[in-house]
A and B are shown apart, each in its own frame.
Chain A
Amino acid sequence: MAAESGSRLAERLDAMYEFDREPVSDRHLYGFRSFLAMYAGEHVAGTEFVIGPLFVVHGVTAGDLFLGLLIGNLLAVLSWAFVCAPIAVRSRLTLYWQLRKICGPYLTYLYSVVNALMFCFLAGAMIAVAATAVGLPFNMPMPALSDRLPTSFTWGIVVFLVGAVVTALAILGFEKISRFARICVPWMFLVFVAAAIAVLPQLGVHSWGDFWSVANSKIWTGVVAPGQTKFTLWHVIFFSWFCNLAMHIGMSDLTILRYAKKWQYGFASAAGVYLGHFVAWISSGILCAAALGNVAPGPIAYLGAGVAGAICVILAGWTTANPTLYRAGLAFQVATPDWKRWKVTLATGLATTVAALFPALVMKLLDFVALYGLILMPMGAVIFSDFWLLPKLGLERDAAEKWSGLFSFPAFVAWVGSVGVSFLLPVEIFFKALPAWFIAVAAYVVLSYAFQRGRVVSREVAR
């Protein structure tokens, strides 16, 4: 009975991803420019309005910020190019099918649900970001840096309305919104830059020669806002490296890079990180300083770009929340096959909107982004080990596929164990992912060795 229901779950899960079950054929590969455009679009998003200001309030100095972002983003690009892309162009499978072969359907499903939960919180943060702009004409009191709970009745109403619209649009369709999101990107990026340039005179920058001294004395002063922790160069490096941890070292972008003609296309990620995670973060940090430390995205964008800035925040929040909500609904639908897609998306949107009511989601976004990457990354370590290390040790790749396994114990222990151990380490959350990767690799290799050797021995005994 259990085996029968397990196989039904596996069938439902596989059916959802049936479309991309086969490796990408040579005819469907894309050139380098497509990847440049894709990455540039992906990393100019609603989150950028929040992350830049949070660096300011965490007391980063100007030198640490610029150097840290240059190094951290370079490490992120190298991770895409040397960790994710080489496997993507060899296997040409989505993350789902790659995991399915290694971990079996049950563990892959568990990973999908955890991923979906993380997506819900991220979408919630983006609904809250959009709400800070929608509330502007209503003189809504904006949540402050220290706020964790809903701050006013108006905040609750505005968040609910934004959540309802985002959910309704996610129900109506994904493709058109995804296309609209791409159209928004060039304009959104220029709004970031224009808003920052327009407020520079308010900060005392009247020629480009003034910039660096004002950057040190009025923007990234190194002074920590009350209740915040101090960020150093190391925080900036590790945050900018790991803010997309799930995508590069965590291997989510196998799904994208499997379309690349060469593994070197992983370097196209530079277009995304240096526009979105360098220029846009610096721009939003400047806006935060001009707003005297206010971190609410709506007001700071309005301060720099007026109505266009406020609309930019709404669109940035919406276009980030929408596909996120859609993907979360997709993952949850496997658990509720009798529910129609709209019902699952509605329920997911409702839960996401409730989460968005809590400003903690925005004000602690740096911690959440780090946690998101840390939780999903170990499965990337499992894929890396399975692909490169197991064959070198004379072990079989893709164990679940080979032996029709439903749940890979070595992968599960590597995942949960590495995250668990990393939480015991006496370092801040931004630094836990690096040791966790090595723990996950070691655990997966050792356990795979033990399991596969055990299987060989028991087979020989049976003979």
Chain B
Amino acid sequence: MKALLKVLSVAGLTLTIVPSFFVFSGAITWERHATLMVVGMILWFASAPFWMKREGPQ
């Protein structure tokens, strides 16, 4: 389950950053990039809180 959540998180971050390079190269429109970023955001926030540990100095 945790592995699946991590895969979803990685997919979320990928959809956040990669489309911007496609906009830059002219492969997709800005509107498509903005939509994919929303999908990436949903994936990240729906998965990361369930596996990211709270550790380290506070």
Contact = CB atoms under 8 A, between A and B. Distances in A.
B7 interface: no
Interface in A32-79: 34-35, 37-38
Most chain A CB within a 10 A radius of its CB, from B24, B38, B48, B52? B24
Contacts of B24: 197-198, 200-201, 205
Contacts of A306: 30-31, 33-35, 37-38
Interface string B27-54: 0001101110110110011001100101
Contacts of B54: 179, 182
Contact of A194 (B19, B35, B58): B19
Interface residues of B, number: 29
A351 B7 CA distance: 43
A256 B58 CA distance: 6
Interface stretch (A156-164, A183-191, A392-400, A440-448): A183-191
- The DSSP consensus for interface residues of chain B is helix
A307 B33 CA distance: 11
Given A259-B57, A306-B37, A308-B37, A187 B21 contact: no
B55 A34 contact: yes
Interface string A296-331: 000000000111110100000000000000000000
A139 to B, nearest CB: 19
- The DSSP consensus for interface residues of chain A is helix
Interface in B1-27: 12-13, 16-17, 19-21, 23-24, 26
Interface in A130-183: 178-180, 182-183
A366 B58 CA distance: 26
Interface in A181-215: 182-183, 186-187, 190-191, 193-195, 197-198, 200-201, 205-206
A205 B12 CA distance: 27
B41 A183 contact: no
Contacts of A311: 41
A308 B20 contact: no
A85 to B, nearest CB: 12
Nearest to B50: A183
A205 B20 CA distance: 13
A309 B40 CA distance: 12
Given A183-B48, A183-B49, A191 B56 contact: no
A259 B48 CA distance: 26
A201 B26 contact: yes
B20 A193 contact: yes
Contact of B21 (A180, A197, A256): A197
Nearest to B56: A34
20 contacts: A34-B57, A183-B45, A186-B48, A187-B12, A187-B45, A190-B17, A193-B17, A194-B19, A194-B33, A198-B19, A198-B24, A198-B30, A201-B24, A206-B26, A256-B57, A305-B37, A306-B30, A307-B37, A308-B37, A308-B38
Interface of B: 12-13, 16-17, 19-21, 23-24, 26, 30-31, 33-35, 37-38, 40-41, 44-45, 48-49, 52, 54-58
Given A30-B55, A186-B48, A195-B20, 11 more contacts: A37-B56, A179-B49, A182-B54, A187-B12, A187-B48, A194-B20, A197-B20, A198-B33, A258-B57, A306-B35, A309-B34
